[in-house]
Amino acid sequence: MILHRMSAAAAGVVLLAAMTAGCGNGNEVGGASGTDDGKITLGFSQVGAESGWRTANTKSIQESAASAGIDLKFADAQQKQENQIKAIRSYITQKVDVIAFSPVVETGWDAVLQEAKAANIPVILTDRAVDSQDKTLYKTFIGSDFVVEGQKAGEWLVKEYEGKTAPVNIVQLEGTTGSAPANDRKSGFEEKIKADPKFKIIASQTGKFTRADGKEVMEAFLKANPKIDVLYAHNDDMGLGAIEAIEAAGKKPGVDIKIITVDAVKDGMQALADGKINFIVECSPLLGPQLMELVKKVKAGETVEPRILTEETTFTQAQAKEALPNRKY
Ligand code: AHR
């Protein structure tokens, strides 16, 4: 990416320029608030484009805004909290009707959310939570229960090794450090396996939710640990990167090393159907339609539920084969 080669200051200038230029293609923050045409204006700050899940989530939000007749101002934060804070401040300056965002990390949001509240702009959290004591800083939070997702992964593992006594060496590829899905998928999983001492997490490191980092970290895990029985990856993309590393090391993913991932995007489901992944916990990215309903409600001053949970399931290899032909993302 061009921005990666720039100095931080230059990158900041580029970002601000993008945020203030009215591009009108739904991909930038820019433009004046759309209140004059009677449309609701939504400012949305997305985490980035780190995974297949995120791409599907962005598509869902952009398509749903278009079909709901909502004027969407969209900014990609490239996995940086400072970019999200800048985008939110820009939406406040532009006096958008509603702000929604998917926080890259859990902490450090109170100041900017106070600013939105002082400007009377309602905020909706999508996908990820913030760690704030002040629940009045946002109207609602729509998304998955990541602790439950981690628990489902742990429950599958416990059943898979039921009745066996030999040690099970587990490596864990964590999501973005400090993010709600990384924190919660880790704690939910560990809670379910901790009662049985045969389960040992021998290595755990972030793969930043990306395929490239998943591959790199798995290569290091394989070099350092001669016996790995199970890989738990916090998303499909990291699992898919790890599969490449496992195959390059001459081992069979899904057989020599059992693999559990989270998301159930098409590529992950294909690997599951092909026997390279053993179990996937679903995390749905299709939050757009519900988000647009909520945007209309909060703009109209209606009361909304403070927590809206996404419905999701799990997939075995047989279930993936059945579901794949109709998988939308
Ligand atoms: O917050 C949801 C997570 O973020 C998805 O599981 C992962 O793929 C994404 O990057």
Task: Give the closest residue to 182 by CA, choosing from 205, 212, 211, 158.
Answer: 205
Residue 329 lies in a domain: no
Best substitution site from 104, 144, 283 to test ligand 1's pocket, by max atoms within 8 Å of Cβ? 283
- Please identify every stretch of the chain with a pLDDT value under 70, giving residue numbers as ranges: 1-36
For residue 99, the surrounding DSSP H or E stretch is: strand 98-101
- Contact present, 166 and 115 (Cβ < 8 Å): no
Same domain, 221 and 303: no
pLDDT of residue 288: 98
Strands 258-263 and 279-282, by their bridges, are: parallel
pLDDT of residue 37: 75
The first and second tokens of residue 162, run together, are 């039921």
Same domain, 75 and 181: no
Residue 321 lies in a domain: no
**pTM beyond 0.85, yes or no:** yes
Residue 198 lies in a domain: yes
List pLDDT tens digits, range 113-155. 999 999 999 999 999 999 999 999 999 999 999 999 999 999 9
Same domain, 47 and 196: no
Sheet holding 258-263, edge to edge: 199-206, 168-174, 230-233, 258-263, 279-282, 314-315
Same domain, 70 and 150: no
Distance of CA 27 from the midpoint of ligand 1 (Å)? 20
Same domain, 43 and 137: yes
Neighbour-count burial for 72-85, b at 16+ CB within 10 Å, e otherwise: bbbbbbbbbbebbb
Best substitution site from 58, 263, 269 to test ligand 1's pocket, by max atoms within 8 Å of Cβ? 263
Identify the domain containing residue 67 by its residue range. Answer: 5-144+285-312
Distance of CA 128 from the midpoint of ligand 1 (Å)? 9
Same domain, 154 and 131: no
Same domain, 113 and 191: no
- The Cβ-side half-sphere exposure at 105, using a 13 Å CA radius, reads 15
CB atoms within 10 A of CB 11: 18
Asked if residue 235 has its Cβ within 6 Å of ligand 1, the reply is yes
Asked if residue 181 has its Cβ within 6 Å of ligand 1, the reply is yes
Same domain, 137 and 163: no
Read off the CATH number of the domain in which 135 is found: 3.40.50.2300
| Alpha-carbon gap, residue 297 to 161, rounded angstroms | 48
Which atom number of ligand 1 is nearest to the Cα of residue 181? 1
- Measure CA 284 to chain center: 10
pLDDT of residue 31: 42
pLDDT of residue 8: 39
Which atom number of ligand 1 is nearest to the Cα of residue 236? 8
Same domain, 24 and 105: yes
- Contact present, 75 and 81 (Cβ < 8 Å): no
Same domain, 72 and 173: no
pLDDT of residue 328: 87
Asked if residue 184 has its Cβ within 6 Å of ligand 1, the reply is no
List pLDDT tens digits, range 19-55. 433 333 333 444 444 456 789 999 999 999 999 999 9
Best substitution site from 47, 54, 183 to test ligand 1's pocket, by max atoms within 8 Å of Cβ? 54
Residue 318 lies in a domain: no
Asked if residue 128 has its Cβ within 6 Å of ligand 1, the reply is yes
pLDDT of residue 274: 98
Distance of CA 34 from the midpoint of ligand 1 (Å)? 30
* Amino acid (one-letter) located at 275: G
Q: How many domains does the chain have?
A: 2
